[in-house]
Protein backbone atom coordinates (compact mmCIF):
# COMPACT_ATOMS: atom_id res chain seq x y z
CA UNK A 1 0.00 0.00 0.00
CA UNK A 2 1.33 3.42 -0.95
CA UNK A 3 1.80 6.00 1.79
CA UNK A 4 -0.91 8.25 0.34
CA UNK A 5 -3.37 5.41 0.89
CA UNK A 6 -2.49 5.11 4.57
CA UNK A 7 -4.09 6.84 7.55
CA UNK A 8 -3.04 10.15 9.00
CA UNK A 9 -1.35 8.59 12.01
CA UNK A 10 0.60 6.25 9.75
CA UNK A 11 1.64 9.20 7.59
CA UNK A 12 2.66 11.21 10.66
CA UNK A 13 4.77 8.31 11.95
CA UNK A 14 6.46 7.77 8.57
CA UNK A 15 7.37 11.45 8.38
CA UNK A 16 8.74 11.42 11.93
CA UNK A 17 10.90 8.37 11.10
CA UNK A 18 12.24 10.03 7.99
CA UNK A 19 10.81 7.26 5.81
CA UNK A 20 9.47 9.89 3.40
CA UNK A 21 9.09 13.64 3.09
CA UNK A 22 6.03 15.80 3.30
CA UNK A 23 6.90 17.19 -0.13
CA UNK A 24 6.90 13.70 -1.67
CA UNK A 25 3.59 12.98 0.02
CA UNK A 26 1.86 16.12 -1.20
CA UNK A 27 3.23 15.68 -4.73
CA UNK A 28 1.47 12.31 -4.84
CA UNK A 29 -1.71 13.77 -3.34
CA UNK A 30 -1.69 16.64 -5.82
CA UNK A 31 -1.37 14.24 -8.74
CA UNK A 32 -4.26 12.16 -7.47
CA UNK A 33 -6.37 15.26 -6.81
CA UNK A 34 -5.79 16.44 -10.39
CA UNK A 35 -6.92 13.02 -11.63
CA UNK A 36 -10.03 13.22 -9.45
CA UNK A 37 -11.41 16.56 -10.63
CA UNK A 38 -14.65 14.90 -11.60
CA UNK A 39 -15.44 14.36 -7.92
CA UNK A 40 -15.49 18.16 -7.41
CA UNK A 41 -14.39 17.82 -3.78
CA UNK A 42 -12.51 21.11 -3.50
CA UNK A 43 -13.78 24.63 -4.04
CA UNK A 44 -10.23 25.93 -3.57
CA UNK A 45 -7.02 23.95 -4.00
CA UNK A 46 -3.57 25.55 -4.30
CA UNK A 47 -0.91 23.00 -5.32
CA UNK A 48 1.96 25.49 -5.16
CA UNK A 49 0.91 26.71 -1.74
CA UNK A 50 0.61 23.15 -0.50
CA UNK A 51 4.08 22.31 -1.79
CA UNK A 52 5.47 25.36 0.01
CA UNK A 53 3.82 24.29 3.26
CA UNK A 54 5.28 20.79 2.84
CA UNK A 55 8.79 22.08 2.23
CA UNK A 56 8.60 24.21 5.38
CA UNK A 57 7.44 21.15 7.34
CA UNK A 58 10.30 19.08 5.94
CA UNK A 59 12.80 21.68 7.13
CA UNK A 60 11.33 21.50 10.62
CA UNK A 61 11.39 17.71 10.59
CA UNK A 62 14.99 17.70 9.42
CA UNK A 63 15.86 20.02 12.30
CA UNK A 64 14.48 17.45 14.74
CA UNK A 65 11.15 19.13 15.50
CA UNK A 66 8.24 16.81 16.26
CA UNK A 67 4.61 17.87 16.51
CA UNK A 68 1.36 15.87 16.47
CA UNK A 69 0.57 16.67 12.81
CA UNK A 70 3.84 18.01 11.44
CA UNK A 71 3.76 17.62 7.65
CA UNK A 72 0.29 15.99 7.53
CA UNK A 73 -2.23 17.58 5.12
CA UNK A 74 -5.76 18.26 6.42
CA UNK A 75 -8.67 19.60 4.35
CA UNK A 76 -11.18 22.12 5.72
CA UNK A 77 -14.86 22.47 5.01
CA UNK A 78 -15.40 25.81 3.29
CA UNK A 79 -17.30 27.34 6.20
CA UNK A 80 -14.10 27.35 8.30
CA UNK A 81 -11.89 30.42 7.99
CA UNK A 82 -8.23 29.95 7.05
CA UNK A 83 -5.90 32.74 5.96
CA UNK A 84 -4.73 32.17 2.41
CA UNK A 85 -8.05 30.74 1.28
CA UNK A 86 -11.43 32.30 0.60
CA UNK A 87 -14.24 31.22 2.91
CA UNK A 88 -17.30 30.94 0.69
CA UNK A 89 -19.64 28.80 2.82
CA UNK A 90 -20.89 27.36 -0.45
CA UNK A 91 -22.94 30.44 -1.26
CA UNK A 92 -22.83 33.20 -3.85
CA UNK A 93 -22.42 36.30 -1.70
CA UNK A 94 -19.31 34.96 0.06
CA UNK A 95 -17.52 33.45 -2.93
CA UNK A 96 -13.96 34.78 -3.21
CA UNK A 97 -14.11 36.65 0.10
CA UNK A 98 -11.03 36.04 2.23
CA UNK A 99 -11.14 36.01 6.04
CA UNK A 100 -8.97 38.35 8.09
CA UNK A 101 -7.71 35.62 10.41
CA UNK A 102 -7.73 31.89 11.04
CA UNK A 103 -10.54 30.17 12.85
CA UNK A 104 -9.38 29.03 16.28
CA UNK A 105 -9.38 25.37 15.23
CA UNK A 106 -7.21 26.25 12.22
CA UNK A 107 -4.78 28.05 14.51
CA UNK A 108 -4.56 24.85 16.55
CA UNK A 109 -4.05 22.69 13.47
CA UNK A 110 -1.24 24.93 12.23
CA UNK A 111 0.34 24.98 15.71
CA UNK A 112 0.35 21.17 15.60
CA UNK A 113 2.19 21.26 12.26
CA UNK A 114 -0.69 20.41 9.93
CA UNK A 115 -0.72 21.55 6.31
CA UNK A 116 -3.98 23.08 5.09
CA UNK A 117 -4.66 21.07 1.94
CA UNK A 118 -7.60 23.07 0.60
CA UNK A 119 -11.22 24.07 1.14
CA UNK A 120 -13.77 21.31 0.57
CA UNK A 121 -17.20 21.83 -0.92
CA UNK A 122 -20.37 21.73 1.16
CA UNK A 123 -24.11 21.90 0.79
CA UNK A 124 -24.90 25.59 0.44
CA UNK A 125 -24.73 27.36 3.83
CA UNK A 126 -24.46 23.85 5.35
CA UNK A 127 -28.27 23.55 5.03
CA UNK A 128 -28.63 20.08 3.55
CA UNK A 129 -27.32 16.56 3.14
CA UNK A 130 -26.96 15.98 -0.62
CA UNK A 131 -24.10 18.40 -1.39
CA UNK A 132 -25.86 19.15 -4.67
CA UNK A 133 -24.84 22.80 -4.57
CA UNK A 134 -26.13 25.08 -7.33
CA UNK A 135 -23.31 27.61 -6.68
CA UNK A 136 -20.23 25.37 -6.54
CA UNK A 137 -21.58 22.21 -8.19
CA UNK A 138 -22.42 18.77 -6.91
CA UNK A 139 -19.75 16.83 -5.03
CA UNK A 140 -19.64 13.20 -6.18
CA UNK A 141 -19.23 10.05 -4.12
CA UNK A 142 -15.98 8.21 -4.99
CA UNK A 143 -17.73 4.85 -4.62
CA UNK A 144 -20.17 5.81 -7.39
CA UNK A 145 -19.85 9.18 -9.08
CA UNK A 146 -23.57 9.31 -9.79
CA UNK A 147 -24.33 9.21 -6.05
CA UNK A 148 -24.28 11.89 -3.36
CA UNK A 149 -21.45 11.93 -0.82
CA UNK A 150 -23.80 13.08 1.92
CA UNK A 151 -23.65 16.48 3.53
CA UNK A 152 -23.29 19.05 4.46
CA UNK A 153 -19.58 18.16 4.80
CA UNK A 154 -19.68 16.13 1.59
CA UNK A 155 -16.49 17.49 0.08
CA UNK A 156 -14.60 16.46 3.20
CA UNK A 157 -16.09 12.96 3.15
CA UNK A 158 -15.38 12.40 -0.53
CA UNK A 159 -11.83 13.79 -0.32
CA UNK A 160 -10.88 11.52 2.57
CA UNK A 161 -12.57 8.44 1.08
CA UNK A 162 -10.89 9.02 -2.30
CA UNK A 163 -7.56 9.30 -0.45
CA UNK A 164 -6.91 12.80 -1.72
CA UNK A 165 -6.07 13.84 1.85
CA UNK A 166 -5.57 11.80 5.05
CA UNK A 167 -8.16 13.72 7.08
CA UNK A 168 -10.55 16.65 7.05
CA UNK A 169 -12.48 18.87 9.43
CA UNK A 170 -16.20 19.23 8.84
CA UNK A 171 -19.06 20.69 10.83
CA UNK A 172 -22.16 18.97 12.18
CA UNK A 173 -25.49 20.58 13.08
CA UNK A 174 -27.82 17.62 12.55
CA UNK A 175 -25.53 14.95 11.11
CA UNK A 176 -23.27 16.83 8.71
CA UNK A 177 -20.05 15.10 9.80
CA UNK A 178 -21.52 11.64 10.41
CA UNK A 179 -23.77 11.37 7.35
CA UNK A 180 -21.06 12.01 4.72
CA UNK A 181 -18.64 9.88 6.72
CA UNK A 182 -21.12 6.99 6.63
CA UNK A 183 -22.04 7.43 2.96
CA UNK A 184 -18.36 7.67 1.92
CA UNK A 185 -17.12 4.78 4.09
CA UNK A 186 -14.96 6.63 6.64
CA UNK A 187 -15.07 7.46 10.36
CA UNK A 188 -16.37 10.74 11.74
CA UNK A 189 -16.80 12.32 15.17
CA UNK A 190 -19.35 14.89 16.26
CA UNK A 191 -17.89 16.21 19.53
CA UNK A 192 -19.94 17.34 22.51
CA UNK A 193 -21.14 20.86 21.73
CA UNK A 194 -18.61 23.35 23.07
CA UNK A 195 -15.66 20.94 23.04
CA UNK A 196 -14.22 22.48 19.85
CA UNK A 197 -14.11 26.25 19.40
CA UNK A 198 -16.65 27.67 16.96
CA UNK A 199 -14.68 30.91 16.59
CA UNK A 200 -14.23 31.68 12.90
CA UNK A 201 -16.78 29.17 11.57
CA UNK A 202 -19.80 30.36 9.59
CA UNK A 203 -22.70 29.28 11.82
CA UNK A 204 -26.16 27.89 11.64
CA UNK A 205 -26.90 27.48 15.34
CA UNK A 206 -24.67 28.02 18.38
CA UNK A 207 -26.78 25.53 20.32
CA UNK A 208 -26.37 22.79 17.73
CA UNK A 209 -23.21 23.43 15.68
CA UNK A 210 -19.86 21.76 16.25
CA UNK A 211 -16.81 21.12 14.11
CA UNK A 212 -15.54 17.55 14.02
CA UNK A 213 -12.84 15.38 12.42
CA UNK A 214 -13.32 12.97 9.51
CA UNK A 215 -10.71 10.31 8.70
CA UNK A 216 -10.12 6.71 7.66
CA UNK A 217 -9.49 5.37 11.17
CA UNK A 218 -10.64 6.02 14.70
CA UNK A 219 -6.98 6.49 15.68
CA UNK A 220 -6.90 9.51 13.37
CA UNK A 221 -10.03 10.90 15.01
CA UNK A 222 -8.32 10.50 18.39
CA UNK A 223 -5.28 12.42 17.18
CA UNK A 224 -7.34 15.21 15.63
CA UNK A 225 -9.56 15.44 18.71
CA UNK A 226 -6.47 15.98 20.83
CA UNK A 227 -5.45 18.90 18.64
CA UNK A 228 -8.89 20.47 18.11
CA UNK A 229 -10.03 20.20 21.72
CA UNK A 230 -6.63 20.58 23.36
CA UNK A 231 -7.29 17.34 25.26
CA UNK A 232 -4.23 15.11 25.43
CA UNK A 233 -5.67 12.86 28.13
CA UNK A 234 -5.05 9.18 27.39
CA UNK A 235 -8.01 7.17 26.19
CA UNK A 236 -9.65 5.17 28.96
CA UNK A 237 -9.24 1.42 28.87
CA UNK A 238 -12.23 -0.16 27.15
CA UNK A 239 -12.82 -3.86 26.72
CA UNK A 240 -15.67 -5.14 24.62
CA UNK A 241 -16.58 -7.96 26.97
CA UNK A 242 -19.25 -6.52 29.20
CA UNK A 243 -19.56 -3.24 27.30
CA UNK A 244 -23.23 -2.21 27.30
CA UNK A 245 -24.61 -0.69 24.11
CA UNK A 246 -28.27 0.26 23.89
CA UNK A 247 -30.47 -0.71 20.96
CA UNK A 248 -33.15 2.01 20.74
CA UNK A 249 -36.59 0.46 20.47
CA UNK A 250 -38.27 3.43 18.78
CA UNK A 251 -37.44 4.56 15.27
CA UNK A 252 -33.71 4.14 14.89
CA UNK A 253 -33.77 0.49 13.76
CA UNK A 254 -37.07 0.68 11.86
CA UNK A 255 -37.72 1.14 8.12
CA UNK A 256 -34.15 0.48 7.01
CA UNK A 257 -33.04 -0.29 3.49
CA UNK A 258 -32.46 -4.08 3.33
CA UNK A 259 -28.79 -3.66 2.46
CA UNK A 260 -28.25 -1.30 5.40
CA UNK A 261 -30.15 -3.70 7.67
CA UNK A 262 -27.98 -6.62 6.57
CA UNK A 263 -24.70 -4.76 7.14
CA UNK A 264 -25.86 -3.44 10.51
CA UNK A 265 -27.09 -6.84 11.70
CA UNK A 266 -23.77 -8.41 10.70
CA UNK A 267 -21.93 -5.74 12.70
CA UNK A 268 -24.09 -6.44 15.75
CA UNK A 269 -23.33 -10.15 15.49
CA UNK A 270 -19.61 -9.36 15.46
CA UNK A 271 -20.05 -7.23 18.57
CA UNK A 272 -22.04 -9.94 20.36
CA UNK A 273 -19.35 -12.46 19.52
CA UNK A 274 -16.78 -10.12 21.08
CA UNK A 275 -18.76 -10.00 24.32
CA UNK A 276 -20.69 -6.76 23.91
CA UNK A 277 -24.02 -6.69 25.73
CA UNK A 278 -26.67 -5.30 23.36
CA UNK A 279 -29.42 -3.96 25.58
CA UNK A 280 -32.87 -2.92 24.33
CA UNK A 281 -33.50 0.63 25.54
CA UNK A 282 -36.53 2.86 25.39
CA UNK A 283 -36.07 6.28 23.85
CA UNK A 284 -39.79 6.92 23.88
CA UNK A 285 -40.46 10.61 23.42
CA UNK A 286 -37.08 11.39 21.88
CA UNK A 287 -38.36 11.87 18.34
CA UNK A 288 -41.22 14.11 19.51
CA UNK A 289 -38.95 16.28 21.66
CA UNK A 290 -36.43 16.42 18.84
CA UNK A 291 -39.10 17.61 16.40
CA UNK A 292 -40.21 20.32 18.79
CA UNK A 293 -36.64 21.51 19.36
CA UNK A 294 -34.74 21.07 16.11
CA UNK A 295 -35.86 23.44 13.40
CA UNK A 296 -37.15 26.26 15.64
CA UNK A 297 -33.76 26.42 17.38
CA UNK A 298 -31.75 26.17 14.16
CA UNK A 299 -33.75 28.71 12.18
CA UNK A 300 -34.07 31.27 14.98
CA UNK A 301 -30.38 31.04 15.81
CA UNK A 302 -29.34 31.12 12.16
CA UNK A 303 -30.68 34.66 11.79
CA UNK A 304 -29.12 35.76 15.08
CA UNK A 305 -25.80 33.94 14.82
CA UNK A 306 -25.13 34.48 11.13
CA UNK A 307 -25.87 38.21 11.45
CA UNK A 308 -23.41 38.41 14.33
CA UNK A 309 -20.79 36.35 12.45
CA UNK A 310 -20.94 38.49 9.31
CA UNK A 311 -20.50 41.62 11.42
CA UNK A 312 -17.91 40.47 13.93
CA UNK A 313 -15.71 38.62 11.41
CA UNK A 314 -15.98 41.54 8.96
CA UNK A 315 -17.10 39.40 6.06
CA UNK A 316 -18.19 42.41 4.03
CA UNK A 317 -21.86 41.57 3.46
CA UNK A 318 -25.13 41.82 5.36
CA UNK A 319 -27.45 38.99 6.28
CA UNK A 320 -29.89 40.22 3.65
CA UNK A 321 -27.18 40.12 0.97
CA UNK A 322 -26.26 36.61 2.06
CA UNK A 323 -29.84 35.42 1.59
CA UNK A 324 -30.13 37.19 -1.77
CA UNK A 325 -27.08 35.31 -3.04
CA UNK A 326 -28.39 31.81 -2.33
CA UNK A 327 -28.41 29.69 -5.50
CA UNK A 328 -29.72 26.29 -4.37
CA UNK A 329 -33.55 26.09 -4.47
CA UNK A 330 -33.80 23.83 -1.40
CA UNK A 331 -31.73 26.23 0.70
CA UNK A 332 -33.53 29.30 -0.63
CA UNK A 333 -36.84 27.73 0.39
CA UNK A 334 -35.59 27.36 3.98
CA UNK A 335 -33.71 30.62 4.43
CA UNK A 336 -35.56 33.27 2.42
CA UNK A 337 -38.78 33.16 4.51
CA UNK A 338 -36.73 33.97 7.63
CA UNK A 339 -36.58 37.60 6.46
CA UNK A 340 -40.37 37.86 6.57
CA UNK A 341 -43.39 35.97 7.80
CA UNK A 342 -41.37 32.75 8.12
CA UNK A 343 -39.21 34.12 10.93
CA UNK A 344 -39.33 32.06 14.12
CA UNK A 345 -40.96 34.04 16.96
CA UNK A 346 -38.91 34.31 20.12
CA UNK A 347 -41.66 32.63 22.14
CA UNK A 348 -41.52 29.58 19.84
CA UNK A 349 -37.74 29.53 20.19
CA UNK A 350 -37.98 29.59 23.99
CA UNK A 351 -40.43 26.69 23.90
CA UNK A 352 -38.00 24.81 21.67
CA UNK A 353 -35.21 25.28 24.21
CA UNK A 354 -37.48 23.73 26.84
CA UNK A 355 -38.12 20.78 24.51
CA UNK A 356 -34.34 20.43 24.10
CA UNK A 357 -33.93 20.19 27.87
CA UNK A 358 -36.56 17.44 27.86
CA UNK A 359 -34.67 15.69 25.07
CA UNK A 360 -31.43 15.82 27.06
CA UNK A 361 -33.24 14.42 30.08
CA UNK A 362 -34.63 11.50 28.06
CA UNK A 363 -31.13 10.56 26.88
CA UNK A 364 -29.67 10.85 30.38
CA UNK A 365 -32.45 8.68 31.81
CA UNK A 366 -31.96 6.04 29.13
CA UNK A 367 -28.21 5.87 29.79
CA UNK A 368 -28.85 5.58 33.53
CA UNK A 369 -31.68 3.04 33.30
CA UNK A 370 -29.73 0.68 31.06
CA UNK A 371 -26.31 1.26 32.57
CA UNK A 372 -25.27 2.09 29.01
CA UNK A 373 -21.91 3.11 27.62
CA UNK A 374 -23.58 4.33 24.41
CA UNK A 375 -26.54 3.70 22.14
CA UNK A 376 -25.92 2.12 18.72
CA UNK A 377 -27.83 2.36 15.44
CA UNK A 378 -27.31 2.63 11.65
CA UNK A 379 -26.02 6.11 10.87
CA UNK A 380 -28.50 6.53 8.01
CA UNK A 381 -31.51 4.41 7.02
CA UNK A 382 -30.21 4.03 3.46
CA UNK A 383 -26.97 4.29 1.51
CA UNK A 384 -26.02 7.14 -0.84
CA UNK A 385 -28.87 8.31 -3.06
CA UNK A 386 -28.52 9.30 -6.73
CA UNK A 387 -27.49 12.92 -7.32
CA UNK A 388 -30.55 15.02 -8.05
CA UNK A 389 -32.90 13.43 -5.52
CA UNK A 390 -32.94 16.60 -3.44
CA UNK A 391 -36.63 16.58 -2.57
CA UNK A 392 -37.54 12.89 -2.32
CA UNK A 393 -35.61 9.64 -2.14
CA UNK A 394 -36.82 6.06 -2.55
CA UNK A 395 -36.77 3.94 0.60
CA UNK A 396 -38.40 0.50 0.66
CA UNK A 397 -40.52 1.30 -2.38
CA UNK A 398 -41.78 4.67 -1.10
CA UNK A 399 -40.85 8.22 -2.02
CA UNK A 400 -39.68 9.83 1.23
CA UNK A 401 -38.52 13.40 1.88
CA UNK A 402 -34.76 13.38 1.40
CA UNK A 403 -33.50 15.63 4.19
CA UNK A 404 -35.52 14.27 7.14
CA UNK A 405 -34.99 10.69 5.98
CA UNK A 406 -31.20 10.96 6.01
CA UNK A 407 -30.99 12.89 9.31
CA UNK A 408 -33.56 10.75 11.11
CA UNK A 409 -31.05 8.87 13.27
CA UNK A 410 -28.36 11.54 13.71
CA UNK A 411 -30.52 14.58 14.46
CA UNK A 412 -31.76 13.74 17.99
CA UNK A 413 -28.25 13.37 19.45
CA UNK A 414 -27.26 16.59 17.67
CA UNK A 415 -30.07 18.52 19.33
CA UNK A 416 -29.16 17.00 22.68
CA UNK A 417 -25.58 18.23 22.21
CA UNK A 418 -24.07 14.82 22.98
CA UNK A 419 -21.09 13.28 21.17
CA UNK A 420 -21.69 10.98 18.21
CA UNK A 421 -19.36 8.69 16.29
CA UNK A 422 -19.80 6.78 13.04
CA UNK A 423 -17.60 3.93 11.81
CA UNK A 424 -17.82 2.11 8.47
CA UNK A 425 -19.20 -1.44 8.55
CA UNK A 426 -19.13 -2.55 4.92
CA UNK A 427 -21.06 -2.17 1.70
CA UNK A 428 -24.66 -2.49 0.59
CA UNK A 429 -24.95 -2.92 -3.18
CA UNK A 430 -21.46 -1.45 -3.53
CA UNK A 431 -22.13 1.60 -1.36
CA UNK A 432 -20.80 2.21 2.18
CA UNK A 433 -22.84 1.77 5.35
CA UNK A 434 -22.06 3.35 8.72
CA UNK A 435 -22.80 2.34 12.30
CA UNK A 436 -23.30 5.18 14.78
CA UNK A 437 -22.81 5.52 18.53
CA UNK A 438 -24.20 8.31 20.72
CA UNK A 439 -22.84 8.72 24.25
CA UNK A 440 -23.15 10.94 27.32
CA UNK A 441 -22.22 14.60 27.04
CA UNK A 442 -18.55 15.12 27.75
CA UNK A 443 -17.60 11.46 27.26
CA UNK A 444 -15.84 12.07 23.94
CA UNK A 445 -12.57 10.33 24.83
CA UNK A 446 -14.39 7.27 26.13
CA UNK A 447 -16.58 7.21 23.02
CA UNK A 448 -13.46 7.26 20.86
CA UNK A 449 -11.99 4.40 22.91
CA UNK A 450 -15.19 2.42 22.33
CA UNK A 451 -14.99 3.20 18.63
CA UNK A 452 -11.40 1.98 18.45
CA UNK A 453 -12.37 -1.26 20.19
CA UNK A 454 -15.28 -1.79 17.79
CA UNK A 455 -13.13 -1.01 14.78
CA UNK A 456 -10.74 -3.78 15.83
CA UNK A 457 -13.42 -6.49 15.61
CA UNK A 458 -15.48 -5.25 12.68
CA UNK A 459 -14.59 -6.36 9.16
CA UNK A 460 -12.06 -3.97 7.60
CA UNK A 461 -13.51 -1.48 5.16
CA UNK A 462 -12.30 -1.82 1.56
CA UNK A 463 -10.87 1.24 -0.10
CA UNK A 464 -12.93 3.34 -2.46
CA UNK A 465 -11.98 2.98 -6.13
CA UNK A 466 -9.28 5.33 -7.33
CA UNK A 467 -10.55 8.18 -9.52
CA UNK A 468 -10.76 7.37 -13.21
**Residues carrying an active site annotation:** 77, 152, 176
Q: Residue 242 CB: number of other CB atoms within 10 A?
A: 9
Contact 281, 245 (CB under 8 A): no
CA distance 34 to 255: 40
Q: Are 79 and 202 in contact (CB under 8 A)?
A: yes
φ/ψ (deg, to 5) at 43: -95, -20
- DSSP letter at 344? P
Cα 90 to Cα 419: distance, rounded to the nearest angstrom = 26
- DSSP track, 291-334: HHHHHHHHHHHHHHHHHHHHHHTT-S--HHHHHHT---HHHHHH
Contact 50, 60 (CB under 8 A): no
In three-state form (DSSP H/G/I as H, E/B as E, the rest C), the secondary structure along 360-428 is HHHHHHHHHHHCCCEEEEECCCCCCCECCCCCEEEECCEEEEHHHHHHCCCHHHHHHCCCEEEEEEEEE
Query: What is the DSSP annotation of 160-218?
Result: HHTTSSSEEEEEESSSTTHHHHHHHT-EEEEPPTTSS--TTB--S-TTT-EEEEEESSH
Q: Which residues pair with 48 in a beta bridge?
A: none
Q: How far is CA 192 from the centre of its chain?
A: 13
Rg (CA), the chain: 21
Closest CA to 359 of 288, 425, 306, 270: 288
DSSP state of 339: G
Phi and psi torsions of 111, nearest 5°: -65, -30
Say how many C-beta atoms besides its own lie within 10 A of residue 174's C-beta: 30
Amino acid sequence: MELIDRTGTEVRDALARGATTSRALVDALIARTEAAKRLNVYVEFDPDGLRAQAEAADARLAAGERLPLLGVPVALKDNIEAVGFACGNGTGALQGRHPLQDAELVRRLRAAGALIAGKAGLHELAFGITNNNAVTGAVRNPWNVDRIPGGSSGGCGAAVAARLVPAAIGTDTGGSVRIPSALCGIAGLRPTVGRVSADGIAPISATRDTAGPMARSVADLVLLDEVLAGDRSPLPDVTLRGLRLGLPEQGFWEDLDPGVRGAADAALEALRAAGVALVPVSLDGVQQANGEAGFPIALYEFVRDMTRYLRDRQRGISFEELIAGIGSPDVKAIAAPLLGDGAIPEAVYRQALVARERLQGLYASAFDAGGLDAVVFPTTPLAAAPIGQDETVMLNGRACPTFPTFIRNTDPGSNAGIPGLTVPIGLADGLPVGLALDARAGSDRRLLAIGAALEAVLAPMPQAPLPQ
